[in-house]
Amino acid sequence: MSIYQRMAREVKPHWHHLSIAVVCMLVVAGTTAGLAYLMGPVVDDIFVAGVTDPERARRMIVILPIALVAVMWIKGGATYSQTVLMVMVGQRIVADLRERIYAHLQELPLSFYDNTQTGLLIARMTNDVNLLRESVSSALAASFRDIFTIVGLIALVFYRDWRLAIIAMVVFPLAMVPFIKFGQLVRRISTRNQQATAEMANHMSETISGARVVKAFTAEKHEISKFKAVSQRILRLQLKEERVRALSSPTMESLGAVAFAVILGYGGHRVLTGAASAGTFVSFIAAVIMLYDPLKKLARTWTIVQRGVAGAERIYELLDTPAMVKDRPGATELTGFRESIQYRGVRFSYGREPVLKGIDLTIEAGRIVALAGSSGGGKTTLVNLLPRFYDLEEGEILIDGTDIRDLTQSSLRRMIGLVTQQTILFDDTIKANIAYGRPGATEEEIITASKAAYAHDFITELPHGYETHIGEQGVRLSGGQRQRLAIARALLKDAPILILDEATSSLDTESEYYVQKAIDNLMKGRTTLVIAHRLSTIYNAHRIVVLSGGRIVQEGRHEELLGQEGEYRKLYEMQFKSDN
């Protein structure tokens, strides 16, 4: 399907508004031609007849002004209705597209986000969608109206004097050649401009959210010069685009003047020789002059359409990115967890290098299994496979004997609570953030969860307690407090399987104390997979699994593993020993 066909498909659901708009445009076109037509009687029936037939001239001097006003009013009404209708269609298309893009983004696999810059996506949602709107609504409206008007005026021109019209048809198209060329040029520049704008948005979002790092490394000057380079590039492209666009109408005008001169000369000659009446010629010239405006607008529309097409191409590229295959046909609901989680021969890679190379691991219900191993060993990857954040390449993961790929993703994820090193809180109230995984939770349940997460006390001290907005002025939560909110969130979700990925590793000793107590509450009665850097968590685990280079190299309890020569003892000496 071509890009134009796809763009047309966006417009199709709005056909009823569009058809009314088209009728209005026909009226606009008809009345415009009507005005040019009236110039004939104005000259012949008032001015010429004023000499030859004064009676008729006196009658017409009343009728024609009234006719002129009436035609103008009808044209005004139709222009208004047509504009409003087209704006409505355009804005609905925008709303529909951005909603579709957002919904599609939610369906895309995590691997997409690993490789995509946020700025780029924001540019798609805002800039490109708007370019598309401009092109389908204002441009579509304008081009329909202008084309109808042009057809109406050309018909009148032929009706008035076909010989003169043929000459006009030969000389005027010359004036149209530049706009096609300019359109293509604008489209090319616009694409480059868009890329640069996305780059700039991305650089901004990175350095603003990373302002602390920029300052810490005194990299302000570096970032400023980097920003300036992109900004200047955008400036140059924008100026170039505007220059091309600005050149488009003077070029047409200059060529149009030549065409007009030819017609004036030949037309004047015909009136002088008596081949045409003065009124016919004035009406002809009025129509030709009136043709200039829609032709010029059409040229401008063409460049807008070209920009819109460039935007549409980028939007469709995003919408065409394959969404994550949701559920297999016949996938079943996971209703509870009773026996065990089994990893069988699990292999996985993000790119070419395998990250997990054949993992066999069984976790019995109610157990705590700790994952240990040096950084980059694949611990996070291993736990992320369980909620199917990524799909395996080889092997299988079974929950109570069922392959997780045979379960619906939503029911699988409902069974799993997740607390990671980085807590994401949304710009909403504390209450809403805690209830994120269970929107229907009652006030009481939220408070109970917060108490168990050692969060209740600090929440009640906030200016508006549970109703405090996270982004509010003066609300600064510490890492430990944020983490306890995340734990309250997991407690409220009350999933039987729990994943803790270095939940305490970025905290200072004091906040770690409370977070650890909160985590102990959270682990009660759950099956837990814990990645920890603290020895106490590892002591309490029923089993420790040591990962290295994508394989399980050791398994057992703390004392057992410590007694063996191997990875665990090295790790212990390097990392855990300092804890006691």
- The whole-angstrom separation of Cα 188 and Cα 179 is 14
Is residue 376 a contact residue for ligand ADP (CB under 6 A)? yes
Is residue 350 a contact residue for ligand ADP (CB under 6 A)? yes
From the list ligand ADP, Mg ion, none, partner contacted by residue 265 (C-beta under 5 to 8 A by kind): none
Token couple for 442: 């009652």
- The whole-angstrom separation of Cα 301 and Cα 306 is 9
Is residue 455 within 8 A of residue 518, CB to CB? The reply is yes
For the four alpha carbons of 16, 20, 23 and 29, in that order, the dihedral sign comes to negative
Is residue 306 a contact residue for Mg ion (CB under 5 A)? no
Is residue 82 a contact residue for Mg ion (CB under 5 A)? no
Minimum separation from the CB atom of position 400 to ligand ADP (A): 25
Stretch that binds ligand ADP, among 163-171, 285-293, 376-384, 563-571 (CB under 6 A): 376-384
From the list ligand ADP, Mg ion, none, partner contacted by residue 377 (C-beta under 5 to 8 A by kind): ligand ADP
Q: Which of 143, 193, 283, 381 is the binder for ligand ADP (CB under 6 A)? A: 381
Is residue 113 a contact residue for ligand ADP (CB under 6 A)? no
Q: Which of 99, 107, 114, 457 is the binder for ligand ADP (CB under 6 A)? A: 114
Q: Which of 191, 380, 409, 420 is the binder for Mg ion (CB under 5 A)? A: 380
Q: How many residues bind Mg ion, per CB under 5 A?
A: 1
When the beta carbons of 294 and 378 are compared against ligand ADP, the nearer one is: 378
When the beta carbons of 256 and 377 are compared against ligand ADP, the nearer one is: 377
- The whole-angstrom separation of Cα 215 and Cα 192 is 31
Minimum separation from the CB atom of position 349 to ligand ADP (A): 8
Q: Which of 14, 379, 414, 534 is the binder for ligand ADP (CB under 6 A)? A: 379
- The whole-angstrom separation of Cα 437 and Cα 479 is 21
- Residues in Cβ contact with 266 at an 8 Å cutoff, skipping those fewer than 6 apart: 164, 167
Minimum separation from the CB atom of position 353 to Mg ion (A): 16
For 460, other C-beta atoms within 10 Å of its C-beta total 12
Stretch that binds ligand ADP, among 131-139, 252-260, 372-380, 473-481 (CB under 6 A): 372-380
For the four alpha carbons of 334, 340, 345 and 347, in that order, the dihedral sign comes to positive
Stretch that binds ligand ADP, among 76-84, 369-377, 419-427, 437-445 (CB under 6 A): 369-377
From the list ligand ADP, Mg ion, none, partner contacted by residue 183 (C-beta under 5 to 8 A by kind): none
When the beta carbons of 28 and 356 are compared against ligand ADP, the nearer one is: 356
**Identity of residue 513:** Y
DSSP string over 320-387:
TSPPPP---TTPBP-----SEEEEEEEEEESSSSEEEEEEEEEEETT-EEEEE--TTSSHHHHHHTTT
From the list ligand ADP, Mg ion, none, partner contacted by residue 378 (C-beta under 5 to 8 A by kind): ligand ADP
When the beta carbons of 288 and 371 are compared against ligand ADP, the nearer one is: 371
When the beta carbons of 380 and 468 are compared against ligand ADP, the nearer one is: 380
Q: Give the SS3 label for residue 500.
A: strand
For 475, other C-beta atoms within 10 Å of its C-beta total 13
Q: Give the SS3 label for residue 77.
A: helix
For 17, other C-beta atoms within 10 Å of its C-beta total 16
Instruction: Tell me the backbone φ, ψ of residue 565, rounded to 5 degrees.
Output: -70, 130
Residues engaged in binding ligand ADP (CB under 6 A): 114, 350, 355, 373, 375-381
Residues engaged in binding Mg ion (CB under 5 A): 380
